[in-house]
Amino acid sequence: MIRSCVSLLVLCGVLAACGSVPPAPIDHYYRLQPSPVASSTKALPGPIAVEALRADSIYAERAVLFSEEANPRQLRQYHYHLWLYVPAQIVQDHLTASLGGVLGVAAAGRAPWHLEGRIVRFERVLDGRNGKAAAALELNLYAQGKSVLAKIYHADQAAADASFSAFVAAMEQALAKIYAQFLGDVDAAGLTTLTQR
């Protein structure tokens, strides 16, 4: 009789514990919307192909990365916040869509201009406020197979609030700053005035 009561109490405890288990976390996926880039840059003489970007180490994974402003040497991943595609693809698509109207972006092939790149930084920085997006891209522009412009571009953008949606919007703005810097360098190098061979 006592064993039956004890068994019944244990069973009730197990059932009660099962009822209080929180639901499993839900994965959240993020994508970038094209960013209009304000520029007076003229189209290059001939179409430009934006090649697949490179990304190393954890920058090649889909998890959203973050660091703390007070501890910038440590980089961590969110478990349930992911980019829709790996950052190299998402940034390549964003770059192509954002610059398409300015530089005459074309599919890879026989385009006389080629833009290659590498993701150097692509993360959320927690700063005790709303946080910010931090991006850095190494971009290398080739004309007829020869490098004519190579530089690492950096940009930060504060988020409007602490939400992930605000972070993604800030990342779009940070990337737009990088594209504007790149276009400024294209202008400064006089590349838009070259004649196509």
- In sequence order, the 6+-apart residues with CB closer than 8 A to the CB of 42 are 192
- 93: amino acid identity, one letter: D
pTM equals: 0.84
- 158: amino acid identity, one letter: A
Q: How far is CA 58 from the centre of its chain?
A: 12
CA dist 85 and 65 (Å) reads: 14
β-pairing, 105-106 vs 48-50, is parallel
Give tens-digit pLDDT for 142-191.
Answer: 988 899 999 999 999 999 999 999 999 999 999 999 999 999 998 888 77
* CATH T-level topology, domain 26-193: Rossmann fold (3.40.50)
Question: Is 141:148 a contact under the CB 8 Å cutoff?
Answer: yes
139: pLDDT strictly greater than 80: yes
In sequence order, the β-bridge partners of residue 158 are 132
Among all chains, which residue has been given the structure tokens 């940009």?
155
What does the pLDDT read at residue 36?
76
